[in-house]
Amino acid sequence: MVRTGLRISVLVYLTMLLVLPVGIIFVRTFENGIGPVIDALSTAAAMHAFQITVVVSFYAVLANTLFGVTAAILLVRYRFPGKRILNALIDLPLAVSPVIVGLALVLVYGRTTGTGKALAGIGINIIFSIPGMVMATAFVSIPLVVRAVGPVLEEIGDDQEQAATTLGAGPVQTFLRVTLPSIRGALAYGVVLALARSLGEYGAVAVVSGRLVGRTQTVTLLVQERYQNFDQQTAYACAVLLVLTAVLALLISQALRPKELKS
Amino acid sequence: MTSPPNGAGVGLLEEEAPPAPTIALGLRGSRRRRRRSAHQPGRPLTTPGHRGPAIGLGMVVLYMSIIVLIPLSAVVWTSMEDGLGGFWHAVTRPEAWSSLKLTIVASLLVAFINLIMGTATAWLLVRDKLPGRAVLDTLIDLPFALPTIVAGLALLSIYGTNSPVGLNLAYARSGVVVALLFVTLPFVVRTVQPVLLELDREMEEAAASLGASPTKIFLRIILPNIVPAMAAGTALAFARAMSEFGSTVLISGNLPFKTQVASVHIFNQLESDNVTGAAAVATVLLLVSLAVLLGLDLLQRWAARRG
Amino acid sequence: MEFRTGRRRIALVAAGVTAALSLAACASTGGSDAASGDGKAKTVNLSLVAYSTPQAAYEKIIAAFQKTPAGKNVKFTQSYGASGDQSRAVESGLPADYVSFSLETDMTRLTKAGLVAADWNSDEYKGMVTDSVVSIVTRKGNPKQIKTFEDLTKKGVDVITPNPFSSGSARWNIMGIYGAETQSGKSEAQATAVLTKVLRNVSVQDESARAALQTFTGGKGDVLIGYENEAIFAKQNGQDIDYVVPDKTLLIENPAAITSNSKHPKEAKAFLDFVHTPEAQKIFAQNGYRPVVKDADTAGQDFPTPSGLFTIQDLGGWDAVATKYFDIDKGIVTEIERSLGVSVEKK
C-alpha cells in the first residue's frame, strides 16, 4: 500500500516536472522531422559552439572532480581547524546569482584590474576568453562532486582504509587501491551531474565570455541568440544536443560502475 | 588467488567463502560497522611522515580561494562602498526587500519539497523493481543540462496559458515555484541515490526476520544512514533556488513586487549602474544562504546524535 | 581479474575521451588559424561590439564592406548582446574597435571611461547610424482597434513591455508614452497618470525588448509596445502580427562610434563611414531600420512619418531623462512602479 502510494506520487511528480518538459522539447525539436535538426547542428556557428562548450566543460569538470574528491576525503576522514566553515563555504557558490558570478570574476580578474593586467602581461587573458569561462563554469558546479562522494564516504566508513594503513600502505596507495574503488559509483554520479551543469550554464558564462561569435560562444549562448532571432529550430536542436551529451555521459559512467550496482 | 575487494562489490563477494590470508581477509567480516557513534571527528591532518593530507588541504583552500572566495570577497567589498548606511538603504529599498522575501520563502519551500520528493525518487530508482526506472534514471540530470531559456520555454508550454494538462500556473508566484522545482530536481536525488546503493542490507534483513515492519525498518535503520545525504542535497537545492534567474523570468511574468525574484532585482540594479546596491543584495543572499547551510548542518548533527 | 579489467576499461574510456577532446581543441584552433593566416597582405582584424537587434544587418554590411577596396583585407570579430551589457563589457576591457548601441547612455558610459572620444557625435548625423520609432504591435487585424498610447489605458487591454530597469532599451517605450502626452500639451501630472494606467495593464515585464517580443509572439498579451524595426523583423520572420505607428511617438536614435583605443583606427573609421553609405543604409532598411541618411533607399519599406514625432532632446536629453524618470530611488517611473506594487502587495 505504502509502496503503491510512493510509486504513484513519485511518478506523478517526475512526470509533471521532468518527463513532460523534456518531452515537449523533443517534440518541438523533431516536429519537422530529423532533417532540419541535422542542418541546424551542422552550421559553423553550432559546431564552433559545441567545441567551445566541450572544452570549457571538460576543464571545469576535471578541476571540480580533483577538487571534489580531495575535499570530500578531507571533510569526512580528517579533522582540522575551520572544517565546518569550509564545509559551509563549499555549497555557497550555488547561491550566487549568475550575473554576480560574472561580476565577481570581472572585479578580480578583469582586464582593468591589477591581477588582470599582470596576467595579460604574460599572455594569459582570463576574462572575455576561455579561462574565464572555465572559472565561471567551475564556480557554479563546485559542490557537485564533493556532495556526491562525501555521503558515500561517510556511509562506508573507514575500516578498510584503517586496515590498509595498519598493514603498511601509504596514504596515496590507500587512496588508489581502497578508497577510490569504493567511491567509484558515487564519483560517477557526481561527475555526470557536474558535467550536465557545466553544459547548461548560461548566465555566469555569458557575462565573462564577451559573446564573441565563433570564439567564446557556448551552445547555451547560441541557443539564446538563435531563439531571439526567431530560429526556434536551431535553439531547440542545440538544447537537445546538450541533453543527449548528458545522457551519453551517464550511460558511459554506468558502464564504468561495478556490475552489481547496475541492477 | 582472488583479487582484492572491490569496495562496491559487497553483495557478490560476501557470499563467497573467505579465501586464504590476503590483505582482504580481516576486512570482509567486519566490512561495515553499523551505526558507529554519529560523527567521527576524523583523523588529525598531519601524521609523522605523511604530509599528503595537509598538502591536499592547502590545494583545496587555494582552489576555493582563486575561484570562489576572492571573487566573492570582492563583491562583499563592493557592497560596502557606500558604507553601512548605503548597504542598508540598498537592501531595504522596496523592490529589493520584496524580491528578497519572495526568493527566500520560495527557496525554503522548494528545498523542503525536494527533501521529501527527492528522497522518495531516489528510493524508487534504487529499491523499487518498477519497469522503466532505468529510463527515468537517465532523465534525472537533464534539468541541469538544459539552458535556462529552454527550460523556461518548456515549462511555459506545459504550465502556461495553453496548458495541455489544464494547469495554468504562469504569471503568478506559483510559476516561480514550478521553475525552481524544475532546476533543483536532481540535487537530493543524486546525493541520496549513491548512498542507498551502498547500503548494506544485512541489518534490514535481520530486522525483517525478527518481525519488524517495513516502516520501522525504514525509520530506524535506513533513514539514519541517509540523513547526511538528504541534508547535503537539500542544502544544495536551497542554495540553487536562491540564485535562479532565467527560467523564473519566463514563467512568472517578472512583475516587480509580485513575481520578481532577487536575482532579477540584482540584474536591474547592475543595468541601472548601481553596482554597490546590486552587490549589497547579493551579499544578503549569501548571508541568508550561509545561515541556512549552517543550520542544516547543525540539524543533521543533532539528528545523527539522537541516532 | 575483474579488478584489472575494470582498470583497463577506465583507461580505454579515458583515452577515448582525451582523443576526442584533443580533436575538438585542435579543430577549433586550427580553424581560426586558417581564417587569419591566408592573405599575403596585412590582414586587419576589427572587433565589432553591438547590441543584439541589428545582428542580421551588420552581418550583411560587413560582407558588403569586405567587397570594397577599403575593406578588402579586413576581418571581423563580432559580438552581440543586450545594449547595456555590451557597453559594460567594453568598459571592463572587452576589446572593441567599432561599437554600436541601442541608446545614447550606453555610449556616454564609454566616453566617461575614456574609451570613446568626447566628440563622437559631432558629425552631421550626430553619431547616429539608424533610427526607428516607438510603435504598438498588435495581433493580426488589430482586433482591439488600438491607435494611440492612450488606448492602452483602457480596461482589459493586456500590455506587454519590457522592464525599464532591466533594459535601457525599454526606456524608449516608456518615454514614448509619456512624451506623447507632454508633447501634446498635457501637464506632467496628467502624463504620469496616463503612464500609470498603462503600466497597470502590463502583465509581463521581460528583461529585454526581444524577450518581450518573444513573449508576445508566443501568444501572451493583446498588445506589445516595441520598436518599429522589431515589428518589421518579426513580420519578416513569419509572425502573425500587425503594428501601428501612433501619430504622436518618439524617434528612436541608435548611436555608433569607433573606440579611442582601437589598434586600427583607419580601418575602423572606414567601416563607420561605410555604415553611412546608401548601400549600408539600404541594408539597414531591409532589416526594418529607418536610415539616417537623407533620401536613402528604403528598400520598399513603408516608413510613415508621424505628424507628432518628437525626439529625446525634446524631453530633455537622455542624461536628464535617466535621472528624472529612472533614478532607482526618486525617479518618476520608480514611484509609479512602487505605487502599483504596493497595491499588489496588499492583496
From A227, which residue of chain C is nearest by alpha-carbon distance?
C214
Please determine, for residue B18, whether its predicted confidence score (pLDDT) is greater than 80: no
| Nearest-CA distance C218 → chain A (Å) | 11
Closest in A111, A181, A212 to C92, CB measured: A111
* Crossing angle between the packed helical segments A142-156 and B173-198, to the nearest 10 degrees: 40
**A228: nearest CB among C3, C214, C239:** C214
Contact assessment for residue A94 and residue A204, using Cβ atoms and an 8 Å cutoff: no
| pLDDT bracket for residue C155 (50, 70, 90) | very high
pLDDT surpasses 60 at A183: yes
The set of cell numbers assigned to C72 is 578588402
Residue C19 has pLDDT above 60, yes or no: no
> So what's the pLDDT on residue B122?
95
Per the structure, how many domains does chain A have? 1
- Can you count the helices (H) and strands (E) in chain B? 16, 1
CATH number at residue C167: 3.40.190.10
- Total number of domains in chain C: 2
Phi first, then psi: give them for residue C44, nearest 5 degrees: -105, 135
Pick the closest to residue B115 from B238, B218, B198, B289 (CA basis). Answer: B238
Residue B34 has pLDDT above 60, yes or no: no
Tens digit of each residue's pLDDT (9 = 90 or more) over A21-42? 999 999 999 999 999 999 999 9
pLDDT for the residue B2: 39
pLDDT (0 to 100) of residue A33: 92
Residue with cell 553609405: C277
Same domain, C120 and C265: yes
ipTM above 0.90, yes or no: yes
Residues 190-219 of A with CB under 8 A from B: 190, 192-193, 196-197, 199-200, 202-203, 219
Please give the average per-residue pLDDT across C181-188, as a whole number. 93
CB C226 within 8 A of CB C152: no
pLDDT band at B58 (very low <50, low <70, confident <90, very high): very high
> Cα angle vertex A188, ends A182, A192, to 5°?
165
CATH 1.10.10.10 fits B80-306, yes or no: no
Q: Say if the Cβ atoms of A210 and C52 lie within 8 Å.
A: no
Q: Is C55 on the interface with A (CB under 8 A)?
A: yes
Is the backbone of residue C117 left (phi > 0), alpha (psi -120 to 50) or beta? Answer: beta
Burial class (CB in 10 A: 0-12, 13-18, 19+), A154: buried
Q: Which position has the grid cell 512619418?
A: C305
Output the pLDDT for position B165. Answer: 85
CATH number of the structural domain spanning residue A100:
1.10.3720.10
Asked if residue C4 is part of any domain, the answer here is no
Nearest CA in chain B to A260: B9
Q: Given pLDDT bands bounded at 50, 70 and 90, which one contains residue C168?
A: confident
Q: What is the mean pLDDT of residues B205-225?
A: 88
Is C168:C52 a contact under the CB 8 Å cutoff? Answer: no
Question: Looking at residue B244, what is its pLDDT?
Answer: 93
Question: Which among A52, A116, A225 has the least Cβ separation from residue C28?
Answer: A52
Task: Give me the pLDDT at residue B212, please.
Answer: 86
The reply to whether residue A107 touches residue B75, judged by beta carbons under 8 angstroms, is: yes
On whether both C220 and C327 belong to a single domain, the answer is yes
Are the C-beta atoms of B257 and C345 separated by less than 8 Å? yes
pLDDT over 80 (residue B20): no
Mark B61-89 as b/e (b = at least 16 C-beta within 10 Å).
Answer: bebbeebbbbbbebbbebbeebeeeebeb
Residue C265, domain member (yes or no): yes
Out of C207, C219, C337, the one facing B249 most closely (by C-beta) is C207
Domain enclosing residue A87, as ranges: 50-217
**pLDDT given for residue C201 in this prediction:** 95
Q: For the segment C267-277, what is each residue's pLDDT rounded down to a tens digit?
A: 999 999 999 99
User: CB-based contact (8 Å) between C329 and chain B?
Assistant: yes
- Show the beta-strand stretches assigned E in chain A: 78-79
- Asked if the model's pLDDT at residue A185 lies above 50, the reply is yes
Q: Are residues C270 and C239 in the same domain?
A: no
Judged by phi (left if over 0) then psi (alpha if -120 to 50, else beta), residue A207 lies in: alpha
* Domain of residue C82, residue span: 44-129+253-291
Cβ(B46)–Cβ(B55) under 8 Å?
A: no
Kindly state whether residues C75 and C163 are assigned to the same domain: no
Pair C240, C326 in one domain: yes
pLDDT confidence bin for C296, thresholds 50/70/90: confident
- Residue C70 covered by a domain: yes
Residue range C303-332, pLDDT digits in tens: 999 999 999 999 999 999 999 999 999 999
CA of A80 to nearest chain B CA: how many angstroms apart?
A: 6
Q: Which residue has the higher pLDDT, A106 or C341?
A: A106
The residue ranges of every structural domain in chain B are: 80-306
Tell me the Ramachandran region of residue C272: left when phi exceeds 0, alpha when psi lies from -120 to 50, beta otherwise: alpha
Whole-angstrom Cα distance, residue B40 to residue A157? 10
Which of A171, C248, C328 is CA-nearest to residue B268?
C328
How far A198 CA sits from the closest chain C CA (Å)? 16
Residues C244 and C156 in one domain: yes
C237 within domain boundaries:
yes
Confidence of residue B33 (pLDDT cuts 50, 70, 90): very low
User: Are residues C125 and C136 both part of a single domain?
Assistant: no
C24 part of a folded domain: no
Please indicate, yes or no, whether the overall pTM of this predicted structure exceeds 0.95. Answer: no
pLDDT band, very low/low/confident/very high, at B250 (cuts 50, 70, 90) = confident
What's the rounded mean pLDDT across residues B115-139? 92
C117 and C137 inside one domain: no
Longest dimension (CA), chain B: 74
Determine the Cα–Cα distance for residues A206 and C81; give it in Å rounded to an integer. 9
Flag whether C219 is in a domain. Answer: yes
A197 vs A205: CA distance, rounded Å: 12
Q: Which residue has the higher pLDDT, C116 or B254?
A: C116
Q: Which residue of B has its CA nearest to C347?
A: B258
Which pLDDT score, from 0 to 100, does residue B214 have? 84
The pLDDT value recorded for residue A239 is: 94
Q: What value does the mean pLDDT take over residues C127-153?
A: 95
Place of cell 492602452: C152
Q: Within this chain, do residues C113 and C184 fall inside the same structural domain, yes or no? A: no
> For B116-125, B161-170, C102-111, which range has the lowest pLDDT when averaged over its residues?
B161-170
Residue B230 predicted with pLDDT over 90: yes
Q: Are residues C226 and C148 in the same domain?
A: yes
CB contact under 8 A, C25 and A55: yes
CA C233, CA C54: separation in Å to the nearest integer? 10
More confident residue, A109 or B7: A109
Of B9, B256, B269, Cβ closest to residue C341 = B256
Using a CB–CB cutoff of 8 Å, tell me whether A237 touches chain C.
no
Q: What's the whole-number average pLDDT of chain B? A: 84
**B176-195 pLDDT, tens per residue?**
999 999 999 999 999 999 99
B41 confidence band (pLDDT: 50, 70, 90) = low
To probe the interface with A, which of C17, C28, C109, C239 has the most A CB atoms within 10 Å? C28
